[in-house]
Amino acid sequence: MIPIRDTITSSNIPVATYSIIGLNSICYLLQVGMGSELDAFIYIYGFVPAKLTVPEISTHFSFLNMLFSMFSYMFLHGGLWHFIGNMWFLYIFGDNVEDHFGAFRFAGFYIICGAASALLHFFLNPLSAVPTIGASGAIAGVMGAYFILYPKSKILTLIPIIIIPWFVDIPAFIFLGFWFLMQFFNATGSGGASGIAWWAHIGGFIAGIVMVKMWGELPAALVEDKLKTLTARKTSPKLQNIHPKPIESTLDLSGTIEITSLESISGTLKLVNIPWGFYTRLYNVNIPPGVKNGTQLRLTGMGRAGSYGVRGDMYLTVVIKNPII
């Protein structure tokens, strides 16, 4: 299952999430250019529990390095797909969690979840001399927060069936709950020998849940309000999932499509996914300039199939978010 996006649009551009992705990208590019020095670099800046517990190893590292590696490890990755997978999950889930916390608090939340992930890994593997690297633990914290904050959100998920892409909406609590159970089964089963720090993922996820409960009581900094004013979104998602409903006594279907005030003025092009029955269809929908809130767009022949090859139409009602009054 590959998450494509969630169905809750963040109110603001997630500057902290994008900054973290950018910093991880820079670190990965530095790794790629290191060549034969990479293994030593990863051992220095990756999280190695044995640095704290095995005298033969700890003697080669300062206490500052041991402490710093609890944070630096989450910006290093073991390969291209490891890096892409982590950044994609952060991109999917980070924006809404950042909306909840604000950019500055989210950055602190992310770092603390990564550190908590490293600590659980340390307590369960105190003598391990294998360096742990990757943003998975911190991102698991983001997913744990999302699990609590937006359980009824839907995750538009791509399930490849041979060469046919099948898009399906999965409730967030099911998608993330399944992900968490997979981490647990891998940690306690044969996956424990794979070299992947499954318990670190579990620790990050739990830390995210706990911190949502704790940080919810803390007031947001005044600077967060100013930043939100500057980063308010001007466009809606390019890809939207439409949930059509049949119009009584006809072959027609109805649904809604969301745009912003700016898009209603300038016009825009959206890619919509319209699942109906066993079919999933992708279409480009052109939103003309000057469209009003509540305007209906008619998509000819995209309704239900009737007898003798007759098809109904699809009527999409335009919903303008944050309309200008």
Whether the Cβ atoms of residue 112 and residue 211 lie closer than 8 Å to each other = yes
Whole-number Å distance between alpha carbons of 274 and 209: 33
Q: Are residues 208 and 227 in the same domain?
A: yes
Give 312's Cβ-side CA count (13 Å radius): 18
Task: CATH number of the domain at 171, please.
Answer: 1.20.1540.10
Give the C-alpha distances (Å, rounded to integers) separating 99 from 145, 147, 209, 232: 12, 14, 16, 10
The answer to whether residues 132 and 197 touch, using CB atoms and an 8 Å cutoff, is yes
57 Cβ contact partners less than 8 Å away, ≥ 6 residues apart? 48, 50, 51, 129
| Domain of 281, in residue numbers | 239-321
Check whether residue 137 and residue 65 sit in a common domain.
yes
pLDDT at 206: 94
Residues 52 and 190 in one domain: yes
Per-residue pLDDT at 202: 93
Do residue 52 and residue 193 come from a single domain? yes
Last residue of a domain, one of 197, 231, 265: 231
Task: For residues 117 and 46, state if they share a domain.
Answer: yes
Question: What order do you get walking across the sheet with 296-299 strand by strand?
Answer: 245-246, 253-260, 314-321, 296-299
Residues 103 and 244 in one domain: no
Claim to verify: residue 279 and residue 132 sit in the same structural domain: no
Last residue of a domain, which of 176, 210, 231?
231
Structure tokens at 162: 């041979």
Closest CA to 270 of 289, 290, 288, 285: 285
Please give the pLDDT value at position 219.
56
Q: Of 174, 199, 231, which closes a domain? A: 231
Structural domains counted in the chain: 2
Q: What is the pTM of this model?
A: 0.78
For the beta carbon of residue 17, count every other beta carbon within 10 angstroms.
25
Same domain for 221 and 313? no
CATH number for the domain including 271?
Answer: 2.60.260.20
Verify that 112 and 225 share a domain, yes or no.
Answer: yes
- 88 and 187 belong to one structural domain: yes
Two structure tokens written together for 37: 């020095």
Same domain, 86 and 111: yes
pLDDT tens for the chain, residues 1 to 325: 788 888 887 888 899 999 999 999 999 999 999 988 999 999 999 999 999 899 899 888 888 998 999 999 999 999 999 999 999 999 999 999 999 998 989 999 999 999 999 999 999 989 999 999 999 999 999 999 999 999 989 898 888 777 777 778 899 999 999 999 999 988 887 655 556 788 899 999 999 999 998 876 555 556 777 777 777 777 777 878 788 889 988 999 999 998 888 888 999 999 887 776 656 677 889 999 999 999 999 988 888 888 888 888 989 999 987 644 4
Same structural domain for residues 55 and 149?
Answer: yes
Q: What is the pLDDT of residue 325?
A: 43
